Structure 1
Amino acid sequence: MSDLPSATANTTTLFLSDADVAALSDWPSAVRALAAAYALPVSDAMVPPRSMARGDGVWLRSLTAVSPSGGHLGCKLIAASPRAGRASYLISLFDQRTMALSALIDGNRVTGLRTAATAAFAVDLLAPRRALRVGVIGAGFEARGALDCLNAVRELGAVRVFSPTPASRERYAAGFRPGIDIAAVDSAEAAVRDADVVICAARSRDESPVLRGAWLPAGATVVSLGSTLPEQREVDEDTLARAARVVADMPEEVLHDTGDALAAARAGVDVAGKTVSLADLAAGGAAARRADGDIVLYKSVGSALQDVVIAEMLFALARERGLGVTLPATIAPVAK
C-alpha cells in the first residue's frame, strides 16, 4: 500500500504575512539556503521560463520551480497594474511527497531577498578572497540590499557609491552602520575605478548604459541587477565585450530578453559563447576565469528557483519559531 495520505487526510496550510517574512529574514541564512540549493543538480525542466499574461494595463507573471532539496515545488505569482502603480506577490509551496499545499507566503520581500542573496553568493564564488573594494552604481532598494547582504557574508574594504542625485547617494552612504569605509562620489567612473566588485542596480531615465566597460579595472567582478527586459539598459556593449565570462542565473532569458545582451550581440559580441549558468559555476562544471585579470559579469534576471528556495527557508523557520497563521481551510490533494 502507498504511504501517501489519502485525499481526506488532515493537512494544513501556513500563511506568512509580509511582517512574518520580515521577522524571519536574515542575509546569512538566505545565502546559505541558496548555496545549498545550487550545490545540487538542477535541470532546465525544474526551472522553466517564466510566463506572463497581459491585459489592458495589467499583467500576471508566473515563475515556477521544483526545489532540488526534494522538499517542495512552488510558484510565485506577481499581479501588477503599472498604470495604477500597484502590485501583489504570492508564493505557494506544495509538498513534493504528498502534493499538500504547505504554505502561502506574501512574496513582496522575497524578491529583494533572493536578488541580493543570489548576488552575494555569486560574488563569493567569483571575487578574490580578501577585503573587497566595492563600487556601487545606484542608491535604491536593490543597491542597498545587494551591499547589505554582501557585507553580511564577506569582509568589505572601501565602498564608493554613485547616484546622479547627490542627496540620494549621500543618504545611501550614511545609511550603513559605522565601521564601513563608505563614501559617495560624484561620478560612476570614480565609483568603479579601483573596484574588485561593481554592483549595478540602476538605470538612466533614457535607458542609456550607466556602466562603461572602459572604466573597469582588470579582474573586476560586475554584478548587473537593474536591467531585465529587452527595452532596458544598464551596462554597455564594451562591458560585455571585455568580460571573459558572463554568469547568468537564467541564461536563455539573459541572452534573449535583456537589453544589455541584445545590444552587445547586435554589436558583434559573442555573448552566448561566453555565457554559463550560475548552477554550472556553483557545481564546478564551468570556470569563471582563466587568469586573475579576467573581468567577469554576473547578470541576473531572477529565478523561480531562488524564490522557492527562499520560501522553503522561511517556511521551515516559521515552523521552528511558531510564526504565521494556520489557515482554517486548505486544498486537499485528490487521487489521480
Structure 2
Amino acid sequence: MNQISSVAVTQGPTLFVADAEVATLADWPSAVAALGAAYALPVTPEMVPPRAMARGKGFWLRGMFAVSPSGEYMGCKLIAASPRIHRASYLVALYNQQTMDLAALIDGSRLTGLRTAATAAVAVNLLAPAKPLKVAVIGSGFEARGLLEALMATREVASVRVFSPTPASRERFAASFSASVDIQAVTEPRAAIEGADVVFCAARSRDESPVIRGEWLEPGMTVVSIGSTLPEQREVDEATMARAALIVADMPEEVAHETGDGLAASAHGVNIEEKLASLADVASGRTAGRRSPDDIILYKSVGSALQDVVIAEMLLHKAQEQGRYITMPATIQTIDK
C-alpha cells in the first residue's frame, strides 16, 4: 500500500514597511532599474487587470491589482479617498506567488509619485535620442519635480526650461535644481518647449483645457504626459495626438477610452488605435519604439498596478536587507484549499 507523505509548510510572518522607512529606502536609480527590468519581461493583460472602484457619497475606494513578472510577488494597491474632507490613505499588500502567504503590507503614500516618475524615465530612456537631453518641464509641483529628478538620476541632462503659470512657483522650482543643472524659468509654455528633446507635462489648467499644443512641437521630440487620467481631464490637445507617430502607454486601453485626451482625439477623427503601443511591448522589443529621428513620440501614463507592485517588491527587498521593517505580531492564515 502506497503511503502519501505530507510535508508541512511553515507560514512566514507578515512584514510592515512604514512611510518613514519608504522615504529612506526609495531612490530613483533603483526604482527606474526595477521597472525597466519588469517591463522587459513578458507581461500579459491578465497579469494587470482593469482597476475597480467603489463609490460612496463624497468618498471612494479604488483597488489596483498585478502579478509581478519576477515570479516573486503579486499584490494590490488600495486607495481610500474623500475629496469632501481632503483625506486619503494608500496601502500595498504583497502576496508570495509560491505560498500565497501575505508577505508584506507597505504604506503606499509615496508610491504613486515614485512609480509614475520612474516609469516615465524608463519610457524616455527607450524613446529619446541617446545624447545629453534638453528638457522642457510644464508644471512645478511634486509630479514635475519627480519626473526631472528620476530622469537626471539615469540620464545626462544638458539643460532645462520650466514653465508654470505662477511666477513664484516656477522660479522656486528652477532655484531648487540650479546647483545640479542649467535651468531657466520662462514665462510661456511654448518658450519652454522650443528646441527641447523631451517635454514633461505634469500640469492641468483649471478649466481642463489642454496645456500642450501640437503646433508647438518639433520633429524628434518625446512628450511625456501624466496628468490626464480621467475622462474629464485634459493635458495635451488633439493635434498633439495626431502629430505623434507613436503613442506609447502604460495602460493602452485606458489611455484610448478613459482619458479626456484620448476621447477628444478620437472625437476629432484621430485614429489612436493604429498608433498605440504598450510600454511593455516597446521595452521587450516586441514593438519598435522610435523609427525615425524626426518622429514625435508621445508617452501617456495613467498609472498601473504593475508599477506599484514592482516598486513595492523593490522596497521590500531593500527593507529586508537593511532591517527597516516591523514584523507584525499576527497575520492572516493561509489555508489548504
Q: Deviations over 1:139-185 (max 9, x none)?
A: 00100000011000000011000000000000111112513001100
Distance (Å, rounded) in 2 between the aligned partners of 1:232 and 1:97: 40
**What is the TM-score normalised by the length of structure 1?**
0.98
Partner SS, residue 108 of structure 1: coil
2:279 equivalent in structure 1: 278
Distance (Å, rounded) in 2 between the aligned partners of 1:18 and 1:134: 31
Trace 1:62-211 onto structure 2 (pairs within 5 A). Answer: 62-176=63-177, 178-211=179-212
Deviation, 1:2, is: 8.6
Distance (Å, rounded) in 1 between the aligned partners of 2:24 and 2:307: 19
Partner SS, residue 206 of structure 1: coil
1:16 equivalent in structure 2: 17
1:224 equivalent in structure 2: 225
User: Identity, % of aligned pairs?
Assistant: 66
Distance (Å, rounded) in 1 between the aligned partners of 2:261 and 2:194: 21
Deviation, 1:188, is: 0.3
Q: Say whether the 8 Å CA contact 1:232–1:258 is kept in structure 2.
A: yes
Amino acid at match of 1:203: R
Structure 1 pair 211–66 and aligned structure 2 pair: CA distance change class (3 A): same
Q: Say whether the 8 Å CA contact 1:249–1:277 is kept in structure 2.
A: yes
Distance (Å, rounded) in 2 between the aligned partners of 1:54 and 1:123: 35
Trace 1:293-332 onto structure 2 (pairs within 5 A). Answer: 293-332=294-333
Q: Say whether the 8 Å CA contact 1:63–1:304 is kept in structure 2.
A: yes
Q: Say whether the 8 Å CA contact 2:11–2:101 is kept in structure 1.
A: no
Distance (Å, rounded) in 2 between the aligned partners of 1:81 and 1:34: 30
Distance (Å, rounded) in 2 between the aligned partners of 1:219 and 1:5: 59
Q: Say whether the 8 Å CA contact 2:25–2:318 is kept in structure 1.
A: yes
RMSD, aligned CA: 1.2
Partner SS, residue 34 of structure 2: helix
Structure 1 pair 262–5 and aligned structure 2 pair: CA distance change class (3 A): farther
Structure 1 pair 100–166 and aligned structure 2 pair: CA distance change class (3 A): same
Distance (Å, rounded) in 2 between the aligned partners of 1:18 and 1:96: 25
1:262 equivalent in structure 2: 263
Q: Which runs of 4+ in 1 moved over 3 A?
A: 1-6
Amino acid at match of 2:333: A
Partner SS, residue 177 of structure 2: coil
* Structure 1 position 237 matched with structure 2 position 241: no
Q: Say whether the 8 Å CA contact 2:246–2:297 is kept in structure 1.
A: yes
Partner SS, residue 114 of structure 1: helix
Tell me the number of residue pairs that the alignment of Structure 1 and Structure 2 aligns: 334
Amino acid at match of 1:66: V
Q: Say whether the 8 Å CA contact 2:11–2:334 is kept in structure 1.
A: no
Deviation, 1:288, is: 2.1
Q: Deviations over 1:51-86 (max 9, x none)?
A: 110010110000000000000010000000001000
Distance (Å, rounded) in 2 between the aligned partners of 1:27 and 1:255: 29
Runs (5+) with no aligned partner, structure 1: none
Partner SS, residue 175 of structure 1: helix
**What is the TM-score normalised by the length of structure 2?**
0.97
